[in-house]
Amino acid sequence: MKFEFRFPDIGEGIREGTLVKWLVNLGDTVEEGQSLAEVETDKVTTEIPSPRTGRVLELKFEEGDTIEVEDVFVVIETEGEGEEPVEVENQPVDEGSAGVVGEVVASSEVIPSSNEGLDTTPRVSHKKKVLATPVARKLAKDLGIDITSIVGTGPNGRVMKEDILKAKEELSKPVAKPKALVEKLDIQYPKEAIERIPLSRIRKTIAEQMVKSRFTIPHTTAMDEIDISKLVEFRNRYKDDLREEGISLSYLPFIIKAVIKALKEFPEFNSTYDEENDELVLKYFYHIGIATDTERGLMVPVLRDADKKSIVDLAKEIEDLTTRAKENKAELHELKGSTFSITNYGSIGGHFGIPIINYPESAILGVGRIVKKPIVKDDQIVIAYVLPLSLSYDHRIIDGASGARFLNLLKELLSNPDMLLLRS
């Protein structure tokens, strides 16, 4: 019996991937669960396992090809007891999950937690029932548009066919690019002196995200230096003991703890500005994104529910997540869904920076390198460990005073670790 394996839907918004490498050859016998190919999507490179045991009859794509979701990808001859000559592993997405991830049997094995990730993330939009016409619903589904995100123009806000068509038009408009940049590219460079490198999918995604953030959100950045001598002392007291347990305790978990306290105090820093409805969506869950430098580009693995974890747990999880992100082993759901992000460029070097917000979040904290510096304390010049922080935030919804208050609270907590532990 022939089995047509279709490229599974691996997550919200991801409609295609690039075939990096076949891991099997024509005629090979494959086991269920054995990897068939390596595919790069805009978030991860992942191996696609075979949903069946059998012999590979056809490999439908060449390495380097783009595969769209639902394309027949591999044909496997299985030793079947089935009656039908061709079995198609794909079910139509049911009405209830329109706009969310279509549940394809195979895909749950490929990237098992892509659905989990969605389920654990509270989504405001899913709570409201959308008033829409039958044709509008079907059209939205076919065009891959999340109908809950559309503002209807029909009676009582009903989403009409026309609204979906307009939304589609909006989506297909190219992202605005700075004009100067485009013009510069017209300059003719001598061919031998340059090299043109096509952007990887990941790089393109990073570029789009940056443009979207920078051109949508009016950023402003507040900076401060914090004397963390006491925190350094505190950490030094325990870090060797912990190392023996295999835990490397950096300053980041302390910073995360302080940030969460501040987010709880100033919830607008853990929010999203919903322009469509002129509403501020405050999030009462704390998923902290950690900007991570990898060979393939910037990745943001996410510490889920960081408020519920101890400093030691956070230390362990940061280590695990960032290592896997660097090794390209992080799973898709681990790379999305953050509510506030931290970029720790200080681990490489640098003092202050102007971080770009991880859209659609409302703020991001940049952490610089801790250095010993002379400071004035009780009218004496003393040497202290100084941590530079840069906080960028969405100036549409957060005023400068709030930015300063947020930083002040971080300062209070980080300069006095006892207070940090007592209050968080």
Partner 1 sequence: MTKYDVLILGGGPGGYVAAIKAAQLGAKVAVVEKERLGGVCLNWGCIPTKTLLKTAKLYKDIQRAESFGIVGIDKSSIKVDWQLLLKRKDKIVNQLVNGIYMLFKKNKIDLYEGKGTILNKNQIEVNGQILTGKNLIIAIGAGDSSPPIPGLDDLVKSGKTINSKGALQLEEIPKDLVIVGGGVIAVEFATLFKTLGSNITIIQRSGRILSGMESEMAATLEKHLKREGINILTSTKLISFSHQGVKIEHKGEEKLIKGDKYLVSLGVKPDLSQVKNLDLEIDEKGFIKTNNKMETSIKGVYAIGDLNGKYALAHVASAEGIVAAENIMGVESTLNYNIVPQCVYTFPELASVGLTEEVAKERGHDITVSKFPLAANGKALAEGESLGFIKLISDNQYGEILGVHIMAPHATDMIAEAVAAMQLEGTVYDLAKAIHPHPTLSEIVSEAAHGAIDKPIHI
Q: How far is the CB of 164 from partner 1 (least distance, A)?
A: 10
Contact string 251-270 vs partner 1 (x = CB under 8 A): --------------------
CB of 48 or CB of 159, closer to partner 1: 159
Q: Which pair of tokens denotes residue 148?
A: 């809950």
Q: Which helix (H) or strand (E) holds 49?
A: strand 45-49
Q: Which pair of tokens denotes residue 11?
A: 């997550």
| Residues constituting the chain | 424
- Contacts of residue 112, Cβ cutoff 8 Å, sequence gap at least 6: none
Applying CB under 8 A, the site for partner 1 has a residue count of 9
Distance from C-alpha of 294 to C-alpha of 346, rounded to nearest angstrom: 15
CB of 161 or CB of 296, closer to partner 1: 161
Q: How far is the CB of 278 from partner 1 (least distance, A)?
A: 16
Contact string 79-118 vs partner 1 (x = CB under 8 A): ----------------------------------------
220 burial (CB, 10 Å; 0-12 / 13-18 / 19+) is: middle
Which pairs count as long-range contacts for 142-151, CB under 8 Å and 24+ apart, including other chains?
143/168, 144/15, 145/99, 145/171, 146/99, 147/98, 147/99, 148/99, 149/99, 149/125, 149/276, 151/276, 151/277
Would you call 395 a catalytic residue per the annotation? yes
Q: How far is the CB of 148 from partner 1 (least distance, A)?
A: 18
CA distances from 411 to 227, 232, 389 (A): 8, 14, 9
Q: Which helix (H) or strand (E) holds 341?
A: strand 340-343
CB of 164 or CB of 332, closer to partner 1: 164
Q: How far is the CB of 154 from partner 1 (least distance, A)?
A: 8
What 3 state SS string does 129-175 have?
CCCECHHHHHHHHHHCCCHHHCCCCCHHHCECHHHHHHHHHHHHCCC
Residue corresponding to tokens 């079947």: 80
Are the C-beta atoms of 377 and 397 separated by less than 8 Å? no
Q: Which helix (H) or strand (E) holds 40?
A: strand 35-40
Q: Which pair of tokens denotes residue 283?
A: 């999030």
Which residues, 221 to 240, sit near partner 1 by CB under 8 A?
Answer: none
CB of 139 or CB of 314, closer to partner 1: 139
Q: How far is the CB of 71 from partner 1 (least distance, A)?
A: 22
Q: How far is the CB of 140 from partner 1 (least distance, A)?
A: 11
CB of 133 or CB of 402, closer to partner 1: 133
Distance from C-alpha of 245 to C-alpha of 267, rounded to nearest angstrom: 36
Q: How far is the CB of 92 from partner 1 (least distance, A)?
A: 14
Distance from C-alpha of 367 to C-alpha of 346, rounded to nearest angstrom: 6
Distance from C-alpha of 343 to C-alpha of 266, rounded to nearest angstrom: 20
Q: How far is the CB of 277 from partner 1 (least distance, A)?
A: 17
Q: Which pair of tokens denotes residue 341?
A: 């992000």
Which residues, 119 to 178, sit near partner 1 by CB under 8 A?
Answer: 133-136, 138-139, 158, 160-161
- Quick one: angle between helices 252-265 and 400-415, nearest 10? 140
Q: Which pair of tokens denotes residue 226?
A: 């914090």
Q: Among residues 126, 219, 351, 395, which one is catalytic?
A: 395
Active site residues: 395
Residues in the site for partner 1, rule: CB under 8 A?
Answer: 133-136, 138-139, 158, 160-161
